Amino acid sequence: MEKDNPPSHEHEVCIVDEIESQRLAKGLEQRHVQMIAIAGAIGTGLFLGLGSSIQTGGPLGALLGYALVGTVVCAVQFALGEVSALMPVTGSFVRHVEVLVDPGLAFAVGWNVVYGALTSVPSEITACVVLIQYWSETDAAVWVTVMIVATAAMALLFVRAYGEIEFVLAILKILLIVGVVLMGLVIDLGGVPGQPRLGFHYWRDPGPFVAYIATGSWGQFLGFWAVMSNAVYSFAGVESLAMAAAEMRNPRQNLPKACKRVFARVTLFYLVSVLIVGMLVSSSDPRLADESGTAAESPFVIAASDAGIKVVPSIINAVVLSSAFSSSNQSILAGTRTLYGLALKGHAPRVFLQTTRQGVPWVCALLQIAVCGLAYLTCSNSALNVFYWLLDLTAAGVLISWSTVALNHIRLILACRSQGISPRELPWHNPATYYSSWFALVMCQIFLWTGGFAVFTRGNWSAADFVSSYLDIPLVLVFYLGYKFWKKTKIVPLKDIPIRQALLEAENDPENVPIKASGWSRLNILWG
């Protein structure tokens, strides 16, 4: 096993490091892992962002867009589950890429993830403050302070407490989705007194698709394609499920279960929600353009208001507030654990390896808490522009992360073939995942390079949109090539990837035993 010293060579035989196995507490159980996965995938994008998708692509365009991205997400999760079951390490795909591809790429992608997490937490704090001000007119700085204190507490809590909080927040989100979908069906079918039956009226008028930028069939296709960006960022965060793999109990069994089961359910949640919203609200409704950041812009709220149901806005605003707080928690987990993993491999200062007695990497957490002060910039209009510029630097980071996950899995399978190892020897494997990973990698690259296509059309140039869509690409390339030049790293040859060592560690892992459901848990469709 690796000792507590900086790595001195390009490629390590050790997979799960002695430091992380001894210092980090295994506080996350199966129900935590699967519900964290749901909590991470269902965020403000589902409750507030669907309206923008309907307005841009139409009801059918939005449904097809979310279905395509949902398929990519499922492919990414299968790839993540297969590699993580073999290598359940802190930092997840960032550590995987070090072993499977190139240490230089691990450095570049890892710091990209850390930077994205550091800036997204104050962003989520700002979103929470906006949602709170839906009810209260108290000075924003007061609520920013309250949220920073709450965030600091979350960052320093031991991982089991984090798991319990995310478990509860995930249940609240699921209850809200089920509730608004049932409400939508009642409204659509004419179940509200005095309201007509809608059916698929809005699919006929103004129609299933919306022309975006151009006219005719080409404009309708562009409307469908523009939905992709909203869909991608609605699912953002799903890749961080395995970031705390070293803090999970029986990760080689629990991670594949979470990746395999949860995201099919999450995709179903999204598709049903998009379908219902497209039936309830016209794509030409001007209220869908509301950018208040509160429940007022939710298409579910618009439909409920039209039906005379007054209590819905506050309920949705409250759960969206919990979603924003949950997204903040997830960014904290992703950022701190990635930074810990980088320090473990010598890509960050070793001071970040310091942990509390409860196994919390407290130095990593303190850095995250310090950066939360950026949320105060939102109290000033001029400073707000600076804050959004910092946030936009890694807006495309989610697609880079998904591409990395797919690439890791492809390299793992190729390495198995090169070394004469059957992929069936892996802790979890499905023959179709090799092809689905190629599909995910190609689609993520297409999304990445076409995400800002609108800025290249006549009259739609926007420097801010161009930066948010594309600046992250050269940033990652500069970090990657700069590290390769400085450290003289090379792409790891397929024959040198330590699959046998990883398989040996998996075989000798006393926790690595199949999980069998018993009693009522066999009927549990959420985390059983």
Contact 115, 400 (CB under 8 A): no
Question: Model confidence at 324, in pLDDT bands (50, 70, 90)?
Answer: confident
Six token digits for residue 85: 């079951």
pLDDT tens digits, one per residue of 260-270 = 776 666 777 88
- Confidence check: pLDDT of 12 > 50: no
Instruction: Give the DSSP letter of residue 16.
Output: S
Other CB atoms within 10 A of residue 71 CB: 15
- Confidence check: pLDDT of 104 > 90: yes
Alpha carbon distance 196, 326 (integer Å): 37
Alpha carbon distance 146, 344 (integer Å): 33
What is the Cα 126 distance to its own chain's centre? 19
Q: Report, as an integer, the average pLDDT of 2-31.
A: 63
Which residues are within 8 A (CB) of 32 and not within 5 positions of it... i.e. 6 or more apart?
A: 160, 163, 164, 166, 167, 248
Instruction: Give the DSSP letter of residue 307.
Output: T
- Mean pLDDT of the chain, nearest integer: 85
pLDDT tens digits, one per residue of 360-380 = 899 999 999 999 888 888 777
Question: Model confidence at 388, in pLDDT bands (50, 70, 90)?
Answer: low
- Determine which of 174-183, 192-201, 314-323, 379-388 has the lowest per-residue pLDDT on average: 379-388
Alpha carbon distance 370, 366 (integer Å): 6
Alpha carbon distance 11, 498 (integer Å): 9
> How would DSSP label each residue in 423-470?
GGGSSS--TTHHHHHHHHHHHHHHHHHHTTGGGGSTT---HHHHHHHH
Alpha carbon distance 34, 120 (integer Å): 23
Altogether, the residues listed in the chain come to a count of: 528
Using omega within 30 degrees of 0 as the cis cutoff, is the peptide bond preceding 59 cis? no
Q: How many helices (H) and strands (E) does the chain have?
A: 21, 0
Other CB atoms within 10 A of residue 374 CB: 21
Global pTM?
0.90
Alpha carbon distance 83, 93 (integer Å): 8
Which residues are within 8 A (CB) of 251 and not within 5 positions of it... i.e. 6 or more apart?
A: 84, 85, 88, 242, 245, 511
Identify the top-confidence range among 75-89, 138-152, 226-240, 406-420: 406-420
Other CB atoms within 10 A of residue 435 CB: 12
Question: Model confidence at 4, in pLDDT bands (50, 70, 90)?
Answer: very low
Closest by Cα among 283, 276, 285 to 306: 285
pLDDT tens digits, one per residue of 437-479 = 999 999 999 999 998 899 999 889 988 888 888 989 999 999 9
Task: Assign a CATH topology to domain 24-510.
Answer: Amino acid/polyamine transporter I (1.20.1740)
> How would DSSP label each residue in 100-167?
HT-HHHHHHHHHHHHHHHHHHHHHHHHHHHHHHTTT--S-HHHHHHHHHHHHHHHHHS-HHHHHHHHH
Instruction: Give the DSSP letter of residue 244.
Output: B
Q: Is the dihedral of CA 457, 462, 465, 469 positive or negative?
A: positive
pLDDT tens digits, one per residue of 148-183 = 999 898 888 878 888 888 888 888 888 888 888 899
Contact 184, 279 (CB under 8 A): yes
In angstroms, what CA-CA distances link 516 with 32, 37, 258? 17, 20, 14
Amino acid at 357: R
**What does the pLDDT read at residue 24?**
79
Question: Model confidence at 11, in pLDDT bands (50, 70, 90)?
Answer: very low
Give residue limits of the domains in the chain.
24-510
Q: What is the dihedral of CA 36, 41, 45, 48, to 10 degrees?
A: -60
**What does the pLDDT read at residue 3?**
39
User: What are the respective helix, strand and coil percentages of the chain, to the nearest 5?
Assistant: 70, 0, 30
Closest by Cα among 119, 235, 230 to 475: 119
Contact 416, 499 (CB under 8 A): yes
Q: Which residues pair with 248 in a beta bridge?
A: 28
Alpha carbon distance 336, 340 (integer Å): 6
What is the share, in percent, of the chain residues with pLDDT greater than 90? 39
Q: State the Rg of the chain over Cα.
A: 23
